[in-house]
Amino acid sequence: MVLYFLTILPIFPNNWFFENLSGVNLYIMEGEVWRLITPTFMHSGFSHMLFNSFSLILFGPALERMLGSAKFLVIYLFSGLIANVATLLFEPLTYTHVGSSGAIFGLFGYYIAIIIFRKTMMSQQNSQVILILCAVSLIMTFLQPNINVSAHLFGLLGGFLMGSIPYFNKKDLSDSIQTTTSWARSQKRNVSFQSPIKMLIWSTIIILVILGLWR
């Protein structure tokens, strides 16, 4: 978070940081492998940094409390790494990218694994918010221009795999999907009875987070 902030200060050597730490596929292929992780901490401007930081502050602490700081950090960094490796594999050599959205999508993926395999760790209301946010974010990934689609998809997949592999069981997976589907249907029927103020608050939060993930 500190590096997020420092790299948008006018007194900071921003040009040097972007030249040497941003994700450039051509330079990675030439041996600058540190660019597979450093773009996660780089942003293209204050608004980009602000919204990604808002996303991390909003959804990170709860997961960190559930997992512990060390495991949370590993999941975040590894999701960012997977996202950047996917960008290297699926985008042109001239492709340049910065931002932590791949790592943040990894947190969403881990949340989804919790919802499917360890649903007792989260309340139904929180699970609903995560699922809605993830679905809308994925849809907007394909609708908005200049989005690193590979990073979003593979960050999400990486986080989900890290959360699900230790608990994977075909019967448990089938039961969990059926239970989650039934719960989602019941929530859809009951949505009209929810507080309009509560729905407005969550809608505002979702819109702000998605704005950050589009960058």
0.85 cut: is pTM over it? no
Q: In the chain, where do the E strands start and end? A: 23-24, 96-97
pLDDT score of 18: 79
pLDDT score of 109: 94
Other CB atoms within 10 Å distance of the CB of residue 203: 11
Q: In the annotation, is 44 catalytic?
A: no
pLDDT score of 169: 55
Instruction: Give, in words, the CATH class of 2-214.
Output: mainly alpha
Q: In the annotation, is 48 catalytic?
A: no
Q: In 19-74, where do the E strands start and end? A: 23-24
Domain boundaries along the sequence of the chain: 2-214
> In the 8-state DSSP scheme, what is residue 45?
S
Ranges in the chain, pLDDT < 50? 1-6, 189-197, 200, 214-215
Among 100, 101, 150, 176, the one annotated catalytic: 101
Q: Give yes or no for a contact between 66 and 121, defined as CB atoms under 8 angstroms apart.
A: yes
pLDDT score of 171: 54
Q: Give yes or no for a contact between 167 and 160, defined as CB atoms under 8 angstroms apart.
A: no
